[in-house]
């Protein structure tokens, strides 16, 4: 694999740490800011909606710009957003800073996925995308637990200050390792948006959104689930998050390999297993060991889907990969926002924390239905083309 992929993975690590670390800090942030747990959960929704809005706007605005310069500029915007998070004095300004941070997220991963796929032969594209997204999963292995530990001992603002330092290192890696000239399709706005007329592309985007909603409906509240339902101490949350991060990394690697072999069947199988595991998690939550084992399996399956869905959208929207790939990041984060909102709404309505996995399982089954429908459309079009 080209060394330039390491620069993309380093930036993905910084972005992933910033996105996911809030889940481990949520109770502390709620207490410090004087808001409820459900209100603090909306910080996840706000970030995700920033990605949803920023992704298509930035994708179109940067369509004709050099890829390397665009990626570096987006990483610098991310640094600024996290600095503002560390300095935000209240809940409202923190929410605004999270949105600013999120504006760079979707476009960076969208363009970065296309760049990663273009750096390798066609039969290794899923693995290249998975390697880039390994930075995202390693953020959950190292970044999120360390962020939790820093926040626990020095306050959550110092966690965001540490992310600023990591992000500056990622900017340096992008400048040093990315090729000066990266092959790209010249932007044609009408052609880029015409991809949205393809039903298979729309179904793939909807599948990505539901997959993320299934994950974030539960993952947003992982800390209170562990402490208030399973009976773990606050000090045990970071080690459990570390273990779950290992599952995310394994899942991303497995997904990359499956995507280069049998993309659609693998995606359908993983979605079905994901729903089953979430259903079982509801019953296991009062027991510590089964909870950790099922959560490990759940996170592995959830992140095996990321390279599969990203590869699917790049393939199905080959005429306009930059916008479609970026929109897929928007779809992921629309799902993040919806999942966090559903979870917050359930808790605000009086539902128990242990009910969240049921909602995640139902949403995952919805994603499975959409993926199966998209597969049938693809098979039908293939038959028509050969007839």
* Helices of type H across the chain: 4-33, 37-61, 67-87, 91-103, 105-118, 125-138, 144-154, 156-177, 189-194, 199-219, 222-224, 234-259, 263-284, 288-316, 321-348, 356-386
pLDDT at 188: 57
Using 50, 70 and 90 to split pLDDT, how confident is the model at 183? low
Give the burial string for 25-34 (b: 16+ CB within 10 Å, else e).
bbbbbbeebe
Instruction: Give CA–CA dist 127/185, Å, rounded.
Output: 22
Write down the H helix ranges in 34-124.
37-61, 67-87, 91-103, 105-118
pLDDT at 382 over 50: no
Average pLDDT (237-263) is 81
So what's the pLDDT on residue 385?
46
Of 303, 8, 253, 304, whose CA–CA distance to 132 is shortest? 8
Which token pair is 95? 């929410």
CA distance 366 to 368: 5
Mean model confidence pLDDT for the chain? 83
**pLDDT, position 290:** 94
Residue 294 or 177, more confident: 294
Q: Are 229 and 281 in contact (CB under 8 A)?
A: no
Residue 22 has pLDDT above 90, yes or no: no
Quick one: average pLDDT of 140-157? 84
Which of residues 339 and 56 earns the better pLDDT score? Answer: 339
CA 125 to chain centre: 19
* Residue 143 pLDDT greater than 60, yes or no: yes
- For the chain, the domains span 4-178+188-380
pLDDT at 353 over 80: yes
List pLDDT tens digits, range 86-101.
Answer: 998 889 999 999 988 8
Structural contact between residues 165 and 44, judged by C-beta atoms closer than 8 angstroms: no
pLDDT at 381 over 70: no
Token digits of residue 268: 């359908």
357 alpha carbon, distance to own chain's centre: 19
CATH topology of domain 4-178+188-380: Growth Hormone; Chain: A; (1.20.1250)
**What's the pLDDT tens digit per position in 215-225?**
989 988 888 89
> Average pLDDT in the 42-46 region?
83
Environment class of 196 (CB within 10 Å of its CB; exposed 0-12, middle 13-18, buried 19+): middle
Interval 39-59 mean pLDDT: 81
């Amino acid at each position: 694999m080209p060394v330039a992929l390491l620069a993309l993975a380093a930036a993905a690590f910084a972005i992933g740490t910033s996105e996911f670390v809030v889940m481990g800090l949520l109770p502390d942030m709620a207490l410090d800011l004087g808001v409820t747990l459900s209100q603090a959960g909306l910080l996840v929704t706000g970030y995700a909606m920033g990605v949803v809005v920023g992704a298509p706007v930035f994708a179109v605005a940067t369509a004709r710009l050099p890829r390397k310069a665009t990626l570096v500029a987006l990483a610098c915007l991310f640094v600024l957003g996290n600095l503002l998070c560390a300095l935000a004095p209240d809940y409202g300004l923190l929410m605004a800073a999270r949105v600013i941070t999120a504006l760079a997220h979707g476009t960076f991963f969208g363009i970065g996925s296309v760049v990663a796929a273009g750096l390798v032969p066609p039969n290794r594209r899923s693995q290249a995308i998975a390697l880039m997204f390994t930075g995202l999963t390693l953020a959950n292995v190292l970044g999120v637990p360390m962020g939790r530990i820093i926040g626990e001992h020095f306050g959550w603002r110092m966690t965001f200050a540490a992310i600023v330092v990591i992000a500056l290192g990622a900017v340096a890696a992008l400048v040093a390792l990315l090729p000066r000239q990266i092959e790209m399709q010249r932007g044609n706005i009408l052609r880029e948006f015409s991809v949205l007329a393809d039903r298979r592309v729309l179904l793939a985007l909807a599948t990505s959104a539901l997959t993320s909603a299934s994950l974030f409906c539960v993952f947003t509240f992982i800390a209170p689930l562990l402490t208030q339902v399973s009976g773990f101490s606050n000090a045990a949350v970071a080690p459990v998050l570390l273990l779950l991060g290992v599952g995310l990394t394994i899942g991303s690697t497995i997904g990359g390999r499956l995507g280069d072999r049998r993309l659609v069947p693998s995606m359908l199988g993983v979605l079905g297993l994901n729903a089953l595991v979430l259903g079982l998690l509801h019953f296991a939550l009062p027991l510590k060991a089964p909870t950790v084992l099922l959560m490990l399996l759940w996170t592995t399956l959830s992140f095996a889907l990321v390279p599969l869905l990203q590869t699917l959208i790049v393939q199905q929207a080959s005429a306009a990969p930059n916008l479609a790939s970026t929109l897929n990041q928007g779809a992921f984060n629309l799902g993040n926002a919806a999942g966090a909102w559903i979870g917050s709404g359930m808790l605000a309505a009086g539902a128990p924390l242990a009910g969240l996995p049921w909602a995640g399982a139902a949403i995952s089954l919805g994603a499975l239905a959409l993926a199966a429908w998209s597969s049938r459309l693809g098979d039908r079009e293939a038959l028509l083309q050969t007839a």
